[in-house]
A and B are shown apart, each in its own frame.
Chain A
Amino acid sequence: MKTLKMEKNVLELAESINQDLKASKDMGLLKCGQCGMCTSTCPAARHSDYDPREMVKRVLEGDEEVLRDDIIWNCFYCYTCHSVCPVNNSPCLIIQILRQKSIDDGAGLEKVASFLAYGDSFLEFGIGSIPHDFFDNLLEDFGDGWLDLKLNLDDIRGELGLEGYVLPEKALCEIKDILEKTGFKERLDRIRRFKNEANTM
């Protein structure tokens, strides 16, 4: 009997997205009819070359190159597409999953490297911080009033009758322990190694 040699399953990428922890229940990726509701309501599509309908099409065509396309980093995660899709698909969630795959794959590491300080702060204080790499830009836009707030935050919180926001030591140990065991610390270290190598190049 002749066997038909099939090409690699074209839906492999789409199916792996559907099975991802981030995917919503009954996400209608495979039901996408390319109606374009997503693109017509998308702020990133209105102001840049990003096109959610096109992203879904590429996923359904099994185009793995999409993971290395800079355009996936333009989505705002505003969930507008997610809230209007007639077949319960969610380009917003698909892009979140594609970015995670891109990071796992290595191509996306440069995109998260500048946010490393947020993760470090989380491990130390149980609360993220503004990523240092962008602090000067923010200060330039927000002005000295914002710097005063940063410098006098404890006094202002006191004025408002609020206690400190840093967690007690025991809670911090728990959070650190949990994040080590979920693999988050290792994830940050991998991003750090990438960042250090990129800086010495």
Chain B
Amino acid sequence: MKQIPCKDILLFKSCLVSVEYPGIESSTRYLFDQLGIEYLVDERQSCCTGLGHYYDLFDQFSTTALAARNLAIARETGHKNMAVMCATCYAILKKACQTLEENKEIRDKINNIFEGSGMGQFSYQRGDFDSRSNIFHVAEILYNQKDKISNLSRIDLSSFKMASHHACHYCKAHYADTLGDVRDPQVIDTIIRSCGAQSLEWYDHQRLTCGAGFRQRFTNKDLSLSVTAEKLLSLKEKDVEVLVHMCPNCQMQFDRYQPTIEKILDTEFDIVHLNISQLVALASGADPYRVVGVQTHTVPVEPFLKKLDIDVDLRQKNLERSLVDEERSLVDEERSLVDDGRD
């Protein structure tokens, strides 16, 4: 089995995490802090191009050149272990890294661009990275901490039935590197069980894609949603209450479209969608609105929180508290201005 790091990690920003489910990032950072995992987020890192790449808009060469720049940032900061929150970032970075390692012609072309534009610091030298031992998904880092995660758990989840959705671009695109088995990775399931919840051993269509299909969601919506519906129906059959994700695009497909699919099929799915980091953070007692970020979900997470005896008015209380804090600091500021005047 591959070695999974717990330090020198560049937590790789994801476009869909940033704008759709930022709670995935805050939950991951919260957990890394709790687990003593040393990591860095670098503001210079660009998006991996993944969505554009699989919309067929980006070409492989441009994607690889931008990956080389991001890898150089990781190298320069001494954080050569990339941990991604999105399965597409995972597949894109692995492919680009392999190309930079193995294809001299492409490597030279990209390095020439860097050197000819005063960006020689981004040049890639053979041996800089190894796609297998430097590029990871956050779920793998958490999997490696499963015993510590059991100890962190503060909330009783034992009565909940959950299932995993192992994103295709994690488990199928570079299947030789998938932790566990490509057919049934069990990475997410193992972490779910560490949190004390039940995870289904198997369900129909377990290996099936979320249905987003990158462009299919936009240009072939009926085709896209019929695949998503197929998976939701098999989860309903097994009375699954929480589907646990490792990719913001899959999460978006299920969470954002579930109400639409309910209307089309004239049925109800009582299924909440959480990323694995969000679930572990919740289990370890993190604030649902200040850390887990449930306020950006389309399928309301509140009914699930209520079953866990978590105060769903927390957000309102947080907001009121921060208003009071703000007022207090304004008063303090005025007071110090008055004091300054006296001096």
Interface residue ranges, A against B (CB under 8 Å):
20-22, 25, 41, 43-44, 47-48, 73-80, 82-83, 96, 99-100, 103, 108, 111-112, 114-116, 118-119, 122, 126-128, 131, 133-134, 137-138, 141-143, 145-146, 149-150, 153, 156-157, 159-163, 165, 167-168, 170-171, 174-175, 177-179, 181-184, 187-188, 191
Contacts and interface: CB of A to CB of B under 8 A. Distances in A.
Contact of B172 (A82, A138, A162, A170): A82
Contact of B43 (A122, A160, A163, A181): A163
B23 interface: yes
B248 interface: no
Contacts of B85: none
Q: Kindly name the residue among B98, B113, B182 whose own CB sees the greatest number of chain A CB atoms within 10 A.
A: B113
The residue among A114, A159, A177 with the most chain B CB atoms within 10 A of its own CB is: A159
B66 A175 contact: yes
Given A83-B175, A119-B52, A160-B293, A178 B223 contact: no
Given A21-B106, A83-B182, A43 B211 contact: yes
Contact of B19 (A153, A170, A178): A153
Main secondary structure of the interface of A (DSSP, over half): helix
Contacts of B60: 20-22, 100
5 smallest A-B Cβ distances: which pairs?
A76-B213, A78-B209, A79-B172, A83-B172, A160-B26
A44 B223 CA distance: 8
Nearest to B27: A160
Nearest to B176: A83
Contact of B57 (A82, A115, A159, A171): A115
Interface in B242-265: 256-257, 259-260
Given A21-B60, A162-B26, A178 B52 contact: no
Interface in B270-325: 289-291, 293, 295-296, 298, 318
B168 A79 contact: yes
B46 interface: yes
B38 interface: no
B165 interface: no
A80 B213 CA distance: 12
A165 B221 CA distance: 29
Residue of A114, A146, A162 contacting most chain B CB atoms (<10 Å): A162
A184 B69 contact: no
Contacts of A143: 259, 298
21 contacts: A48-B223, A74-B220, A75-B213, A76-B227, A77-B213, A80-B209, A83-B172, A119-B58, A142-B257, A143-B259, A145-B298, A149-B20, A159-B295, A161-B291, A162-B25, A165-B13, A167-B46, A168-B43, A171-B43, A178-B113, A181-B116
A83 B176 CA distance: 9
**Residue from the set A138, A141, A163 with the largest chain B CB neighbour count within 10 Å:** A141
B62 A127 contact: no
Contact of A167 (B43, B65, B212): B43
Nearest to B15: A127
Nearest to A191: B57
Contacts of A183: 59, 61-62
Interface range for B: 35 or more
B227 A122 contact: no
B19 A165 contact: yes
Contacts, number: 202
Most buried by B among A128, A163, A179, A187: A128
Contacts of B152: none
B18 A74 contact: no
A134 B224 CA distance: 15
Given A43-B227, A108-B56, A156-B293, A178 B47 contact: no
B221 A137 contact: yes
B99 interface: yes
B159 interface: no
Contacts of A83: 171-173, 175, 182
Contact of B55 (A115, A127, A138, A187): A115
A171 B42 CA distance: 11
B55 A118 contact: yes
Given A115-B57, A171-B44, A160 B18 contact: no
Contact of B117 (A142, A177, A191): A177
B3 interface: no
Given A76-B213, A138-B256, A187-B59, 18 more contacts: A48-B223, A74-B216, A74-B223, A76-B209, A82-B175, A114-B219, A122-B47, A127-B15, A134-B218, A146-B256, A156-B22, A159-B295, A161-B26, A165-B18, A178-B66, A178-B114, A184-B59, A187-B62
Interface string B24-60: 0110000000000000000111110101101111111
A181 B256 contact: no
A114 B214 CA distance: 13
A114 B56 CA distance: 11
